Structure 1
Amino acid sequence: MLTNENASPRPRSDAVTEVLPRTTAGTVIMPRVRRPVPPARENAPTVAERSVRYPSWQQALIFLLPASLTLAIGARGIADRQLWNDEYATWHAATLGWTELSRLLDHVDRVLGLYYVLMHGWVSLVGDDPSMLRLPSLVAMSCAAGCTALVGQRLFDWYAGLTAGVIFGLVPSVSRYAQEARPYALAVAAVTLGTALLLVSLERPRWPWWFAYSFSMVLACAFHLVAGLVLAAHAIIFWLRYQRSERDVRLWKYLGALALIAAVALPLIHSGSDQSGSIDWIKADGATVVELPRRLFGSYRSAAAVCALGLLGLLGLPFVRRRGTMVALLVWALFPPLFTFVTFPLLHLFLYRYFLFTLPAWALLAAGGLHAMTRLIFRRSWPQLLVAVAALPGLTLLTLPGQREAREPVVEWEPDFRSAARMMAPKVRPGDAIVYAGRARPPRLAMSYELRDGGLPADIFLTRSPAERGSFAGQECDVTLSCLGDHQRIWLVSSSASQQPWSEMSRDRAATLSKLFQIVQEERFPRVQVYLLVRKPKR
């Protein structure tokens, strides 16, 4: 059968036919092929959360510049200010044997156990000089400044990050607690590192980053439990960057990190709840609230300057689409003091030292204010570096009085035990004894430290040492006369507020000493008095 070549072949019955349009010349117009859109990459960041990837050297520079500035400021005069009551407690715990330290933690300060263990190892390596006791805090606060800059880089840009790190380093209370042998600086460092790791984990949601974030926050809670309140701000940061889809597994990783943090923090809270008597002295009255800005920032001027820049951030960040970031930083800065104030009747945690980890949030808000204003005015980010260079000298001048106050030789309202010990040391004779009086700031640990290199007379009224009792206070004999022995000279060191030689003593002790001894020398120092008692001649 012949076929016509120009005839179209009959299509198969199972084929799908499509009528294609033709031009007037008979040319078939082929349709445009639309390529299928590939599925979104799992855990890909959204446009709002996608940040600029800086090279490693630039991130190292962003970290090192504020860290170096904070290290330089904090290192100046680090050993000039004498230790105060809490630092004497750190020295005592760090120089105990492991058995005695375990006994101490069974009775008091169990929530600071990790810090005391670390300081025990540190002191055994480098000694107990004031600068060595405070060096871990100095290094930690310097790292906190660097981590603050890295957080600012991811929340805003590297200009704002550098500005935030520098502002943080200029706050007087930062250098004040960089020069203190207590765990607050380590808690601040752990919080800022944890915040930076959270942002990295959200950008690169791999398990090692989430484990690092969990470990940092566990350290923050172990150094100070109140630092765990920053998790409220972290929850907001996570929610802002979380993609609610089946492919975004970051929710489960975040919940896993929280479970790991809770597994360590909750037992620590429970174990420390029976030692809450050690913080019953904390107040939350009107005077304490009024003093909070000065105490937290180091001076009212510093507080006003940083908070004014922070207010600039609150006003400007919503206009540059940073409303969520503003809310997270505001929660970081304000939620801890507000929460502890409201729960004060139950928890007794409203103390300015406990809120030092909120200072990076204030520095970030201040840097965010400069970032927002330059973006609104210049439509670019780089002019904020020029604005910051112009503004930081003024901030430095405003913080100078607070920096000087932080380097006073004696902490405000604390006894000058160092001067008392320096006066006594060359005058102590073999066979001398020492006794103590004063309840608010008992002198025993302080004088033991200040005269640790020799010259400490025999503590004749001590029957059980603080190490034996598992405490920071010793146990003294009840009957004064039986403990006096035949000592002819006794040094009486008193931190009594009344400045009377026999005040804040038991009635028996005051009567016995005044009857058998006479005061031949009296030296007064700020909040501490030293009396030399010589036995009266027998009649």
Structure 2
Amino acid sequence: MGVMVVTGRAGRTGSHIDESSTARWSDARVAVVIGAASGVIATTGSWIPSFWGDEAASIMSARRDWASLWALLGTVDAVHGLYYALLHVWIDLAGTSPFAVRVPSGIAVGAASAGLYLLVRRRSTRGTAVIAAAVFAVLPRATFLATEARSLALATAAAVWLTLLLLRLLDAPTRRGWWWVYALGLALAAHLFLYVALLIPVHAVVASLELRRSGRLRGIRIRPFLLAWAGAALLIAPIGVVAVMQRDQIAFRRPHRTVTAKGVLIDQWFMFEALALVAWAFIVVSVAVVAHRREDAWHGNRQLLLLGGAWIVVPTAALAMVAAAVSLGYTPRYLAFCAPAAAIMIAIALAALPRRWMRAVSIAAIAGLAVPVYLDQRTPYWKNGGTDWQTVAEVVSQRARPGDGVVFDESVRPSRRPRLAMHAYPHGFDGLVDLGLVRPYDETGGLWDVTAPLAEVGHRLEAVDRVVVVSRSADGVDADVAALRQEGFGLAERVVLESDVVMVYEREP
């Protein structure tokens, strides 16, 4: 697809960036450089934060054999099935270290930046396209994606490249094969992350308005789009039905799914109040500037503004309505695949600034405001309220001996259970006896292990003289500690970590 877009050149815009120094570079080469640079920025330090619950679910699901994975998807997480399957293949090649399982997300962020450059370049100047890709690369939501072993980064890259293909299909008749690629691409992207299906109405708005403006909104011209969207919708429908049927798996999150102004205006893409204020100011400016400029040379930017606006508004409004109606609802990070649209709209405003130094200062200001978030994202305890499982594994490895028992706090919600530290960082628990385990996760149709309180399996203590207890909540292991004391164990050591507490109990003489 990169070759197709080289020939697309819409009218020049208000950017006065001197392109003579890069004229000898093809857009494909510029896109590769941008993608590589963005990928490096995104991937750097991505291995530092501890895994959290959603990532543990990814890793545990990907470790299952194919039969076990299929059984899981029949019960829960079918919406993530394609990603789990891809990750299963990947970890067979690369392993399950934090870097290994997150690097595909970093590569996807780079691919999204490269695709965004080509997308904007199809309608505007090289300067505007470079600015859009650069802004996207430093947006906190984009740099966040690279630290997640989840499907959102891949889905975001798919959204960008599919939108680029939409513009190609709008510009000129093309071979039937590309319509198949477009329809299947939409379906596969939605199977990576269900809400990417909302690109269909976004693309429908953009295509309809563009064809109407050009006088080409006739049956023969719109029919291929309608067929492609209908085909994609048919392929997406089964996973949508299954998602509704499995919605109870996220019922515990309902209190956390309220749509708020902070969630929409800050957390979706900017994640920092000052950056959000500056970014929204530029977005407003882009709307005002494009509305004011009527020259033909600004037609490309008007198209980009329409695309960016629809890409932001339609998915956000849809998720807000879904959150109000059912439990599949709203979480700010779910709108990550709309971050490229925010970058487009910001870039239009920056490119319209009359002086090069103004553009440079503005880009530097955005990057500068994003740096604290970027650095914070790459600290050990950044995820999910201070998840510290990497440190838990290290502490347990230092203090436990082969044959010791281990007990975990099961009282907190699934994504925070310290038991997941054992699955995310198994090296720290080598040789330990999981005293509470009844049935391992990969022998169930659910995501997690089946466990029992220590009081119900107290006979297992007969074979151990030391027990490591890992707790997240204040009193989540009180019953287990009582069972240990009843069997003659006393507290030998207690280590308080960022969120968890590791305790070592030894059998008293």
Name the residue aligned to 1:100: 68
Match of 2:314 in 1: 335
Q: Is this contact kept in 2: 1:145–1:168, CA < 8 A?
A: yes
- Structure 2: distance between partners of 1:253 and 1:63: 29
Match of 1:352 in 2: 332
Distance 2:431 2:122 in 1: 55
- Report the equivalent of 2:94: 126
1:78 maps onto 2:46 in alignment: yes
Aligned equivalent of 1:35 = none
Amino acid at match of 1:435: V
Match for 1:393 among 345, 361, 364? Answer: 364
Query: 1:420 corresponds to which residue?
Result: 392
Aligned to 2:16: none
**Mind listing any 5+ residue stretches in structure 2 that lack a counterpart?**
1-7, 13-21
Q: 1:190 aligns with which of 158, 182, 186?
A: 158
In the alignment, which residue of structure 2 is the partner of 1:90?
58
1:444 corresponding residue in structure 2: 419
- Calculate percent identity across the aligned residue pairs: 26
**CA distance 1:106–1:456, shift in 2 (3 Å):** farther
Q: Distance in 2 between matches of 1:340 and 1:287?
A: 9
AA of the residue aligned to 1:475: V
Does residue 69 of structure 1 match 2:49? no
Say whether residues 1:528 and 2:480 are aligned partners: no
AA matched with 1:234: H
The counterpart of 1:486, out of the listed 439, 460, 463, is: 463
Q: Identify the residue that residue 169 of structure 1 maps to in structure 2.
A: 137
Tell me the secondary structure at the aligned position of residue 407 of structure 2.
strand
Give the letter for the 2:506 counterpart: V
Aligned twin of 2:223: 252
Does structure 1 residue 402 correspond to structure 2 residue 373? yes
TM-superposed deviation, 1:518: 1.4
Residue 271 of structure 1 pairs with residue 242 of structure 2 = yes
Q: Distance in 2 between matches of 1:223 and 1:247?
A: 33
CA distance in 1, matches of 2:491, 2:26: 67
Contact 1:148 1:161 in 2 (8 A): yes
**Distance (Å, rounded) in 2 between the aligned partners of 1:283 and 1:403:** 28
Determine the structure 2 residue equivalent to 1:19: none
Question: 2:448 aligned with 1:468, yes or no?
Answer: no
Residue aligning to 2:18: none
| Structure 1 match to 2:434 | 459
Over alpha carbons, which structure has the higher Rg? 1
Report the 3-state secondary structure (helix = DSSP H, G, I; strand = E; otherwise coil) of the residue aligned with 1:155: coil
Tell me by how many angstroms 1:144 deviates. Answer: 0.6
Size of the aligned set, in residue pairs, is 474
Distance of aligned partners of 1:247 and 1:396 in 2 relative to their CA distance in 1, 3 Å threshold: closer
Alignment partners' CA distance in 2, 1:399 and 1:481 = 52
Distance 1:240-1:455 versus aligned 2 partners, 3 A rule: same
Distance, in Å, in 1 between the alignment partners of 2:70 and 2:386 is 29
Q: Do the aligned partners of 1:302 and 1:399 also contact (CA within 8 Å) in 2? A: yes
CA contact (8 A) 2:394 2:428 kept: no
Q: Distance in 1 between matches of 2:257 and 2:242?
A: 28
2-side partners of 1:216 and 1:140: how far apart?
15
Larger helix proportion of the pair? 2
In the other structure, the counterpart of 1:317 is 290
Amino acid at match of 2:207: F
Secondary structure class of the residue paired with 1:359: helix
Q: Give the secondary structure class of the aligned counterpart of 2:145.
A: helix
Q: CA deviation at 1:279?
A: 2.3
* Aligned counterparts of 1:245 and 1:74: Cα–Cα separation in 2: 41
Q: CA deviation at 1:487?
A: 1.4
Q: In structure 1, what is the Cα distance between the partners aligned to 2:502 and 2:439?
A: 24
* Structure 2 CA distance for aligned equivalents of residues 131 and 191 of structure 1: 24
Structure 2 CA distance for aligned equivalents of residues 188 and 155 of structure 1: 20
Partner SS for 1:518: strand
- What is the CA–CA distance in structure 2 between the aligned matches of 1:417 and 1:288, rounded to whole Å? 30
Q: Which of residues 96, 110, 113 in structure 2 aligns to 1:145?
A: 113
CA displacement, residues 409-441 of structure 1 (integer Å, 9 cap, x when unaligned): 112403311112111213222220111114221
- Please give the alpha-carbon distance, in whole angstroms, between the structure 2 residues aligned to 1:158 and 1:308: 23
> What is the CA–CA distance in structure 2 between the aligned matches of 1:195 and 1:246, rounded to whole Å?
19
- Calculate the TM-score normalised by the size of structure 1: 0.82
Q: Structure 1 residue 430 and structure 2 residue 402: aligned?
A: yes
Question: How far does residue 245 in structure 1 lie from its aligned partner after superposition?
Answer: 5.3
Cα gap change, 1:452 to 1:126, in 2 (>3 Å): same
1:300 shift after superposition: 1.7
- Helix, strand or coil at the partner of 2:236: helix
Distance 1:249 1:62 in 2: 36
Return the letter of the residue paired with 1:171: L
Question: What's the CA shift for 1:287?
Answer: 8.1
Please tell me whether the aligned partners of residues 173 and 406 of structure 1 are also in contact (alpha carbons under 8 angstroms): no
- Report the CA distance between 1:319 and its aligned residue: 2.3
Contact conserved, 2:43 with 2:107, CA < 8 A, in 1? no
* Whole-Å separation in 1 of the counterparts to 2:11 and 2:42: 32
SS at match of 2:148: coil
Q: Aligned ranges for residues 2-41 of structure 1 at < 5 Å?
A: none
Tell me how far 1:502 sits from its aligned partner. 3.0
RMSD between aligned alpha carbons? 2.5
